Structure formats: C-alpha cells, structure tokens
A = this chain, B = another copy of it.
Amino acid sequence: MNYDIIIIGAGPGGYEMAERAAHHGKKVLLIEKSHLGGVCLNHGCIPTKTLLNSAKHYVHAKEAPEFGVTTGEVKFDLGVAMGWKQEVIETLRGGIAGLMKKNKVEVLTGEAKLLGSGKVEVDGAVYEGANVVIATGGSPFVPPIPGADQSHVMTSKEILNVETMPESLVVIGGGVIGIEFASFFSSLGVKVEVIEMLDEIIPFMDGGQAKRFRAAVKKKIGFNLGCRVTAIDGHDVKYTDKKGEEKSIHADLVLMSVGRAPNLAGMGLEETRLDFDRSGIKTDDQQRTNLPNVYAIGDVTGKSQLAHSATRMGEVALNTILGKKDTFRTNAIPWAVYSMPEIAGCGMTEEQAKEAGHKVESASLPLLMSGRFLAENGKKGPGQVKVIKDADTDVLLGVHMFGGICSEIIWGVAAMIESELRVQDVQEIVFPHPTVGEVIRSAMFSF
C-alpha cells in the first residue's frame, strides 16, 4: 500500500481528517476535483457569513444614531462586498493548502473513482491505500418544477455571485439556507417572500421560537407557509396555498433552496458492492461502510448536513482507524443560522424530547433580561432562550435561542449536554456578567 489513508473530497470533513491523520503520522492522499475547502468554504458557510457580515455593517450603520453615532447616507456596494467575500475564500483556501503542505498531506486534483476496498482511480492512475474515506459532500437539490431552469432561478451556489441587487426575491424553501439569504437580501432593502411547503420554517427549530422569529422579521420578510410551488412562469412564482388556492408572486430573482442531495455520481459506486441509496452512503456509528476499510463521512452519508458534523465524523473515522474507541453521537451537535437575528440550538427541542418519551419541563426567558443585550439591541431587541430538561432526572436535554449573536454562545451547551449535567449542576456554573449568555443561566433558575 502506498498510503495509509486515501480521502476523496477536501471539504471540512476530508481536509480536517487529512490534517489530523497526518498529525498522527499517517501517510495521507487527499483527492479533490475542485477547490480545497469544499462547499462550505467555496459556496456555503464562509461566503454566506462574509456577505451577512457586510449586511450587518449596513444595518448597524443605519441603527447607529440611536446609540449616539451619526453618519451620512448609508449605502451598500455589492461589488465591494462580493470582492471581500472572494478575498476571504481565497485566503482560507491558501490557508488549507499551507496546512496540508505543513502536515505533508499529498493533495491530488482530479475526479476519483472507487474501485473497491483499498483502490481509487484518478485520471487512469490507480492509488492504493489501507483505508479509503469518501467525503464527497452534497449539492443543492433542484426539484422538477416547470421553469426552474431559467437563469434567474438560482441555487445557493449561483446566487453567491449575483452581480446586481434584485428588487424582489422569492425564496423557495425556508430552511437554514433559505432563511440566511432571505435575511441578507431583506436587510439591504430587497422585497423578500419565503415560500415553504411545511407549516413552519427551519424544521429543527423550537416551534414557539420559530413563530417569534418570524414575528421579529415580519416587516422585512413575508412568509408563505404550507404552500407548494407549482411552476415558475417567467418571473411569476406560482404556488398552491394552504387552502388549495392558486397564487402567484412576482420576483426578479428566485432562490431554490428546498434541500441538498449527497454527491454519489461519477465515482463508479454502482460498480462496487457499496451499500448506498439516494439518501446517502450507509455507515455505522464509527463511519464504516459495508466495504472493509472504506469509510464515509459528511453530507454524503445523509446523516447530518452540517460542516462540523462532517469534521466530527472524520475524527470518529480516524479514531476507528487508529484503534481508538469513538462514536458519532448526534445528541449534542449545536447548529446555528446566521440570520439577523441569529438562531442557534443544541440538544432536543421540547417537541423532540416529548416524542422521545421524556417528561419535559421547559423555561423560557427573553434576552432582554440581559443588561448587555438591552444596551446593544435596544428596548425592543428580539430574542429568547428556552431550556428543556427531563423533569424526573433534572438532566438538561436542550437549549434553543434566537437573538443577537447566539451562534457564538451556543457551544457551551454542547459541553454541558455531553457531560450529562443536571440543571442543578448548571446552576453552579458561573457565567461572566454582563453577557447575553447569562440568560441561559437565569433560565436554569426559572424552574
């Protein structure tokens, strides 16, 4: 064998696994058909957060007078924002390349074909490795709606390179991606309507908080829930509403964000005995596939579509290869939506906890309980913390938030849930004052 580990796909699952494997002395080949960093860096997390940061600067500059800062006219320059976004992407790509070089990970550009356990073909050459890891990610799913092939109907990939600001946008699909783009464009004055098939946006969000979030942004974003898009007729998005009535919204631009599908094509998987279906490659809790020494991690498994889940799956796969016991657990994986206001959660929602058979107790507090939040967001700043515990055991099951920069606050909850803390244990943990995070602690005292 030439390599200890061959990894196909250099997204946050693949490249981080490559780095850590090399850190452990393994000889690693990392194969990527496009750019280092995968969807996350090139067409996902990073470019969206960079653009959202620009939009936040716009909104903050507009709000500044109430805090004692006056400005001339505030204008958004899409070209400069896009330029900075591109610079961030290229800087981080360079960072990953440097990291691979420093750790002596061999990087190969090309399309990989899995020949079976231990063998991968790229451009006619066969590479042999003791272990093969498939980390090819996912792509936007475009449903077969008539008119979806028009140039002004975009996925999250194309809309990241839009050159002029539209006057109006229809977002089809109110998941994380849809809500982030709705937030970006609406903050800059674009008329935005979200059309969602389900009865609520962001399925893994606490139901009550989703409703409060929608209320907080209703002046900027229109929500059309329980509605099914039937066609995109030129610039008219046609849909059937909850009552079965046919309706239509005109939009300069349409974002198609109804979901993502695993990247399974082009690898010759059909010619192997690998167990997969259209939802992804089947893996166990150690990320093993049915083929010996072949692992799969990240979006291609269909288990979780979060970059940090992919990274964690890579760590579990690596530990398994190294002979260390490790398991991919999903009970304490935090998530965040970088909208304005932000949304974040970790652990079970009240609905999920009840479904899982817990006797549930919950406590909710507004973020305005925090002096810092009031100072920074004004008297009407929207936001809430909700804490969910098991009433019998006092064990913390989940924390769900929206408001302010809760994406940076939520991670500590993962530490608490992983440590299986009870609410009475959390009450003894000290939070710094004055912070927004403190409201989590206050909520623990509301039971």
- Closest partner residue, chain B, to A88 (CB atom): B375
State whether the Cβ of A415 lies closer than 8 Å to any Cβ in chain B. Answer: yes
State whether the Cβ of A198 lies closer than 8 Å to any Cβ in chain B. Answer: no
Integer count of this chain's copies in the complex: 2
Q: A76-B69, A430-B332, A430-B333 are in contact. Are A435 and B415 (CB under 8 A)?
A: no
- Closest partner residue, chain B, to A376 (CB atom): B53
Q: Which of B65, B67, B69, B437 contacts A408 (CB 8 A)?
A: B437
Q: A54-B68, A371-B49 are in contact. Are A431 and B419 (CB under 8 A)?
A: no
Which of A273-281, A304-312, A382-390 interfaces with chain B? Answer: A304-312
CB-based contact A92/B57 at 8 Å? no
Per-residue B-contact encoding for A55-88, CB less than 8 Å = 1, 0 else: 0011011011111111111111111111111011
State whether the Cβ of A201 lies closer than 8 Å to any Cβ in chain B. Answer: no
- State how many angstroms separate the Cβ of A379 from the closest Cβ of chain B: 7
- State how many angstroms separate the Cβ of A394 from the closest Cβ of chain B: 14
A57: chain B residues within 8 A (beta carbon): 60-61, 63-64, 67-69
- Residues of A whose CB lies within 8 Å of any CB of B are 12, 20, 23, 40-41, 45-46, 49-50, 53-54, 57-58, 60-61, 63-85, 87-88, 91-92, 95, 306-309, 311-312, 315, 326, 332-336, 344, 369, 371-372, 374-376, 379, 405, 407-416, 418-419, 421, 425-438, 445
9 residue pairs bridging A and B, Cβ less than 8 Å apart: A41-B371, A45-B434, A57-B61, A91-B379, A308-B430, A332-B429, A411-B429, A411-B438, A414-B431
